[in-house]
Amino acid sequence: MTTTHQVSTLLAHAARRPELHHGMVNTPIYRGSTIISTSLDQWESRKRPDNPYASYGRFGTPTTGALEEVIAQAEGGYRSIVLPSGLAACTHAILALVKTGDHVLLPDSVYGPTRAFAERVLARFGIEAEFYDPLIGAGIAAQLRSNTRVVFVEAPGSGTFEMQDIPAIAQSAHTVGAFVVMDNTWATPLFFKPFEHGVDVSVQAGTKYIVGHSDAILGVATANERAWPLLQKGVHDFGQTIGPDDVFLALRGMRTLALRMQQHWATGVQLAQMLHKHPLVERVMHPALAHDPGHALWKRDFLGASGLFSVALRPVRRQALAAFFDSLQLFGIGLSWGGYESLVLPMDAPRRNTRTWDLQGPLVRIHAGLEDAQDLAADLCQALHAAERVQAQGEVFLAAAE
């Protein structure tokens, strides 16, 4: 499909071939393991130099291929491959590129399960994982070694939303031949174009915005031409595959991604601006806000923002924190994000190797869904008011006891 069309048009039309599927507007769900050849010539023609068993359901169906094609086009990459989860996309992207004796750099603000994989699994393979300050930018050159094979980036940072200077980091990483792998889940292919900024492999938890309805789990990895052969072989060597129904749900989600992301972006910013003014809020972490430390990088490199951000509340007693969560009516307490529904999540103080976390109050992650923004703002305000009442009652009780 021509690249002159706007992204919403691309997402609506890419990889749609009704003439191949009896006129069906959506690529149907192909369920199957065995793919039959009707002649020896046909069987041999389906073999590939890197995979003589390519004619098998594990290596993809027309449904899988349609999703991979849409995502590769949206991200501007060479090819994409689907995996069973976002974490699987992160871990297999790294594993496909490294070997024993290699060195891997990851930001200190990386997604927690990716951090655990680096610390626990890579070490067993004889691969050293080192964490760097996400704000380091071009200064990462001081941590690069001749055996640095992967530099992982994630912007904004998981839970705490630090922005990274990805072009500067990528430029430094490439001087030693390292691959740059990015977790691009927050921005989606719409709001950050990784391959225009030096990234070699972009991974996403398709579970989030790509699916968009909280009803399927999958991951996607997209590579440039340099990294693609290694990524494809690495994923296939581990036997990773995904069920056709989940692939179909993700393909469905891609068709409406542009519309949904506009509302997630607008509502998230509106809620973040409101919370920034609330007396119970110590800090709002959202790079699209002008006062955010990462705003300049976001404005330079990103085309928009998602509906996910965090706030640090002022120190409060647990009863007050419970009053906040328990009073919410439109926000559920739950893991994941990116669906149509709004969510909140209490988070522990982040673990950091490179700098000290300087906030004492509780950290709350917020996902702005597709509900009316004013309704969501009112719900947050009444819940914060409930927390203030409980906090004040506790202070009065303590004062009386003294």
**So which residues are the catalytic ones?**
58, 111, 183, 208
- Phi and psi torsions of 105, nearest 5°: -110, 135
User: 250 with 116: CB under 8 angstroms?
Assistant: no
Kindly give the residue spans of alpha helices, DSSP state H, lying in 244-365.
Answer: 244-255, 257-276, 295-301, 318-327
- DSSP annotation of 81: E
**End-to-end CA, the chain:** 73
27: its two tokens: 């690529």
Written as one letter, the residue type at 375 is D
Give CA separation, 315 vs 310, 320, 335, 359, 363, in Å.
Answer: 15, 10, 23, 9, 10
Cβ 196 vs Cβ 55: under 8 Å: no
> Is 63 within 8 Å of 247 (Cβ atoms)?
yes
Q: Which residues of 354-391 are buried (b: 16+ CB within 10 A; e: fewer)?
A: eeeeebebbbbbbbbbbbebeebbebbeebbebbbebb
Return all residues near 18 (Cβ < 8 A) that are at least 6 apart: 24, 25
Q: Of 351, 264, 254, which is closest to residue 13 (Cα–Cα)?
A: 254
